[in-house]
Structure 1
């Protein structure tokens, strides 16, 4: 039986052979990488005996992660090459040794390659401190890559260094011209007494002879092997005394440099706190800390740049969102929540860190009606926030036309299509796709309890009726804004839907960040339906409580971390009926006084003071007179098309030819509707004339033309809007 360290040729050699004298392991393998010889130094280095002779070189307990490297060594050398590298080996006693290996081909006198000769020496014996050294850079790199948020970045650095490599870690960063402490971490949960070492967020000043000041001035890592020589350079006497008491033995300070700019300084110290066998740093440690500081500085710089961009986008978005919703809306109670995305640790899905383009708004419309919108712009960051701001402004402008929700979405879709996506370059005549936007627009009339809405690819709201939670049924989800329909230039149709809400009904609008943003503990996301069910259950538990409680419950419904911004709007209708009076009149001058009389009686019943009631009656007379005058005047001539024996108007309504010669006036009427709110009254006059009124300048000798001018000057607000069968002219006045 061959013994490790012996050779069949050794009996022919002098006792002190060259191989026996070498303080380097010599291992000979055959063409199949099986060990056929190892000298005495190899036996001592690896701590193995004869059992590995005749076995694969991998039997020297080369670490599994180095097996591919060992295979590559054999392949390369057997082709006649020379190879050099470092291996991690587990010794016979279980300890780890790092070996630096140099391999050459073993050639037969004929020139053929018969095997491999490996020369190896110890690179670094693996005690705990050496293991920390070898793995520290990798661990730092992995942890720094998992976050772009500054506080998390600093915390990760401290957690990695203490206690594996240091008993005390300090990171000081510049804010303007002043240096502030941002990290103060210590082993064993120890904390410095107040008034000794600078605390987090406190300014700090280092004397010129202090090692941190030297590191920043030299722009290089500074090693203090004997801290006693530098004890008098401490920033304060109290910090000096504490350093003596703690038994600070060795310190390394390294500047934090990124893109040529000095961001601050990082200092590490060893002390008697952790009772290390050798609490001193050496030159290798100094170089290692310098390399670590370079990575940390780059991560800090990236985090600071990201936070600056994020804060800009967040401020931009918050300023574009409504700061406060209208404080009082008749027949409605509203609560809202908006939470931007927060930086997250990576869970295998990437790091989600930027604010998005979620938005919401509540828009007062004519006659006490309210427009409510919620939406989400595709993408994140300042660009998405900017697009969101433009969308909100555009929708507010379109909403003032008082058109139907479907018409509003059609106009908004047309406007979105004109926006080019700046993140996609234009190549030749390629069309740049506009941003994609999902949103739902609602119009609620508290007096009739009618909710009209149109949807553009957004999730349906939740509806609470008598404590029961369900989805508000949408017959059509609709396409997102910015998506073209079938064919070139095809338009997307947005369908308007209407429903009547019961007294006290509540509906909850939200963006997808509420149900898609939160991962499970194992890193997988909840399915959409799972999240929606959690939301329904959470809302059902507080369905009969106030809107603020419902908003809180909705926001906390799905457990986990935030990785997308979320907007929530909770709207509850009043359980009480709102006061309204209306009556139809024939469109004749004599009916002006009748309409005024009805208004006066209603205003008196509502408790309006005399001067307010008189003003309201005056404006009612002016608006009604305007409607009656225009009802008596001919409408614009419609183009007629003769087809056979019938004449068709442009709306394809058939008329008999005999009707063209009749002179009998067509009977017309108008409807006066008065609404009372908590602080205002609204007056609406409806008629079948499509023409919208406008203010005109009356001459000095004109007998009329001043009615709408009076309304414009005396009413709080006024306007007109088209209806399905004509128009409505309205104005608002304070109740008291």
Structure 2
């Protein structure tokens, strides 16, 4: 009987083999009817006929040759379909159900053929029992191999996704540049995940600091995109181009609602928002566009823009798992983009604030020829608080300032502005460098007390110098700041080829500003004809690639060979010491001191006797005549009379008068008293008290400056237009 069953099964297989394709068609129609959801995957539907025919042929081989479980070989097409199921995200349960349904349909066809070939019901029943056992053995064996292929592909897919997530964490957000961060997102996601990635940011997000208010047709900027095809032919918008999506379109809906969307392209064609022209629609159709992910870029409760992920060359459509993966990556990238946006905004604001607080044009003075440079840092830390200033003082002198506020960002820039204003205020009352730094130290301490606890302490360094073109003396004091470099020319009677001498003065450096209770000290040095003074912040000499001593040696070499122009000196120093963007802010101030022509200074010592006032007036009149300023004689004599009278009456000897011709005519009277005069309102019955009021009316500026030897009362007058050009140093 057993031999009869084996022979009958072989006959069944031989009879059915010519009609194998017909049997496969019946199986496909049954599965299409009972499992319609599987036919939504076009790549699976296209591969199903070959896979079904392979199963029919394999099972007929089992029947014809009586193969055991270990001899059954799964058709290659079945393994490929399992892998495609895994890549498409179809659950394995649906795959196994399709197998059971398909083989049940095949068994029904074989049993129907058995009743046609024989009327021996005993043989048919015995063959049917054997047939069912062999079918289950085949299904079990093949299912094991198919599930293994499915799981292997699923694991590989999950591993790729894990790798993609890790790569996104590693490669996105490496800079604080908005465009670069967006481009990093496109580069990561076009590597085996999408065929085109396009990043649009809301124009309002890029231009405004405030939050984005949703509108139906927002304006977007295509800030980055990348395609697997050269030239991005699959994108209708160029990088850097602004555009908008139609109201009620899927991208506009995603932006206004903040909801991600998976769009599958159907037979009805490419959506109009994806292909605004018929030519581009033809291009996308030719490429085989089949699925799109639309993901709003959201960070800190704000919608920043939209990320599009497109597939056309990749056979598998995007599925829900892909949407979740893209959401995770896009959410992380959105935070990086928002960080870059916030940094860019604060950096630009701080830089604008700092540049507005720095001198916009050279101050009107002729004591020095000065040039300056300011370079913001190239690091992520932001703009710092470096500053410089050139402040004209009385008596043809000038103050040179370089400072550095510790910290970065808007707070540092704002603090710099406050300190610069304070320095100018103290300079206006002609304080000595050490006294000025003492007062500035008090200002910093007050700022520390007024700041919020989370702001951090305010600390700063400052180098303050006063140059007097009459004496050629430069008085300096440092509050924790690096000392300047002094360049002196070669001796006049020496070798013509001798190089300049460059040295760093051995001067005391006081504590940084903000410590309080510690003294500062003023030192003096003489700057000969043709010398140069270079003041800078530590960003010029500090670097991760070299030590400070090496940088100072390089600075010394550059200054020794530098030309006479301060502008050229600045350029050469920056080129040599900072070949790339600095890690810290840099402020550089280079000054070439000038000497005042001795013929433009007239000095007269006066005895402490009221009778000498007339002699002072005569001396002033004669001096102005020699200088060609006779038209200023009347006002100058009145000013001299009041200042000398006050010095003799209220001051102490010795008394000295000095006239200085520069851009202005300055009248100075010195006495050894520290008591400063002040304006007061004289009553009608008062015999005096109107002298300084008269001086204030006649002079353009007037004031008092104190020294350790006494005080100087000074008054400046504007020169006649014809004399201004010839009054330079």
What TM-score does the superposition give when structure 2 sets the normalisation length?
A: 0.69
Deviation digits for residues 127-171 of structure 1 (CA, Å, limit 9, x no counterpart): xx9875432222222233433332332232233334554443321
Match of 1:509 among 529, 535, 540: 535
Is 1:590 aligned to residue 611 of structure 2?
yes
Deviation digits for residues 607-661 of structure 1 (CA, Å, limit 9, x no counterpart): 22x4333322321222122222235xxx7xxxxxxxxxxxxxxxxxxxxxxxxxx
Corresponding residue number in structure 1 for 2:433: 405
Corresponding residue number in structure 2 for 1:574: 594
Aligned counterparts of 2:596 and 2:297: Cα–Cα separation in 1: 66
Which piece of structure 1 moves more, 405-414 or 259-268? 259-268
Corresponding residue number in structure 1 for 2:262: 223
Aligned counterparts of 2:530 and 2:190: Cα–Cα separation in 1: 58
Aligned counterparts of 1:233 and 1:698: Cα–Cα separation in 2: 83
Corresponding residue number in structure 2 for 1:236: 276
| 1:249-328 matches, cutoff 5 A | 250-271=291-312, 278=315, 281-326=318-363, 328=364
Aligned counterparts of 1:20 and 1:369: Cα–Cα separation in 2: 105
Corresponding residue number in structure 2 for 1:175: 203
Uncovered stretches (5+) of structure 2, i.e. residues with no partner: 1-66, 84-149, 205-214, 490-498, 721-729
Q: What is the CA distance between 1:366 and its match in structure 2?
A: 1.5
SS in 1 for 2:486: strand
Deviation digits for residues 322-370 of structure 1 (CA, Å, limit 9, x no counterpart): 33331x311211111222223x4xxxxxxx3322222222222222211
Q: What is the CA distance between 1:715 and its match in structure 2?
A: 0.4
Deviation digits for residues 270-294 of structure 1 (CA, Å, limit 9, x no counterpart): 456xxx6x48544433332222111
Q: What is the CA distance between 1:480 and its match in structure 2?
A: 0.9
Shift in alpha-carbon separation, 1:701–1:211, aligned structure 2, 3 A: closer
Deviation digits for residues 163-220 of structure 1 (CA, Å, limit 9, x no counterpart): 55444332111133532223243347843689x8333443212135654335335634
Aligned counterparts of 1:625 and 1:547: Cα–Cα separation in 2: 44
Q: What is the CA distance between 1:123 and its match in structure 2?
A: 5.7
Is 1:699 aligned to residue 683 of structure 2?
yes
Shift in alpha-carbon separation, 1:282–1:563, aligned structure 2, 3 A: same
In the comparison of the two structures, how many residue pairs are matched? 558
Contact in 1 for aligned 2:569/2:590 (Cα 8 Å): yes
Aligned counterparts of 1:603 and 1:248: Cα–Cα separation in 2: 91
Contact in 1 for aligned 2:203/2:221 (Cα 8 Å): no
Q: What is the CA distance between 1:719 and its match in structure 2?
A: 0.8
Corresponding residue number in structure 2 for 1:205: 244
Is 1:676 aligned to residue 671 of structure 2?
no
SS in 2 for 1:409: helix
Is 1:363 aligned to residue 395 of structure 2?
no
Flag the structure with higher helix content. Answer: 2
Corresponding residue number in structure 1 for 2:726: none
Contact in 2 for aligned 1:210/1:230 (Cα 8 Å): no
Shift in alpha-carbon separation, 1:189–1:625, aligned structure 2, 3 A: farther
SS in 2 for 1:599: helix
Is 1:551 aligned to residue 576 of structure 2?
no
Aligned counterparts of 1:704 and 1:566: Cα–Cα separation in 2: 54
Contact in 1 for aligned 2:270/2:281 (Cα 8 Å): no
SS in 1 for 2:684: coil
Match of 1:618 among 627, 634, 638: 638
Superposition RMSD on alpha carbons, in Å? Answer: 3.5
Shift in alpha-carbon separation, 1:533–1:309, aligned structure 2, 3 A: same
SS in 2 for 1:594: helix
Uncovered stretches (5+) of structure 1, i.e. residues with no partner: 1-14, 24-40, 46-119, 345-351, 427-431, 485-490, 520-524, 636-667
Corresponding residue number in structure 2 for 1:157: 185
Aligned counterparts of 2:297 and 2:404: Cα–Cα separation in 1: 40
Deviation digits for residues 692-720 of structure 1 (CA, Å, limit 9, x no counterpart): 12223333243332221111111010011
Corresponding residue number in structure 2 for 1:644: none
Aligned counterparts of 1:700 and 1:735: Cα–Cα separation in 2: 34
Q: What is the CA distance between 1:454 and its match in structure 2?
A: 0.6
Q: What is the CA distance between 1:425 and its match in structure 2?
A: 4.2
Which piece of structure 1 moves more, 469-478 or 668-677? 469-478
Shift in alpha-carbon separation, 1:226–1:560, aligned structure 2, 3 A: same
Deviation digits for residues 501-540 of structure 1 (CA, Å, limit 9, x no counterpart): 0122211111122223x54xxxxx3222223333333444
SS in 1 for 2:639: helix
Contact in 1 for aligned 2:399/2:464 (Cα 8 Å): yes
Corresponding residue number in structure 2 for 1:659: none
| 1:316-395 matches, cutoff 5 A | 316-326=353-363, 328-342=364-378, 344=379, 352-395=380-423
Deviation digits for residues 39-92 of structure 1 (CA, Å, limit 9, x no counterpart): xx9xxx9xxxxxxxxxxxxxxxxxxxxxxxxxxxxxxxxxxxxxxxxxxxxxxx
Is 1:191 aligned to residue 234 of structure 2?
no
Corresponding residue number in structure 1 for 2:458: 435
Q: What is the CA distance between 1:592 and its match in structure 2?
A: 1.6
Deviation digits for residues 208-239 of structure 1 (CA, Å, limit 9, x no counterpart): 56543353356343334447722444362164
Which piece of structure 1 moves more, 714-723 or 361-370? 361-370
What TM-score does the superposition give when structure 1 sets the normalisation length?
A: 0.69
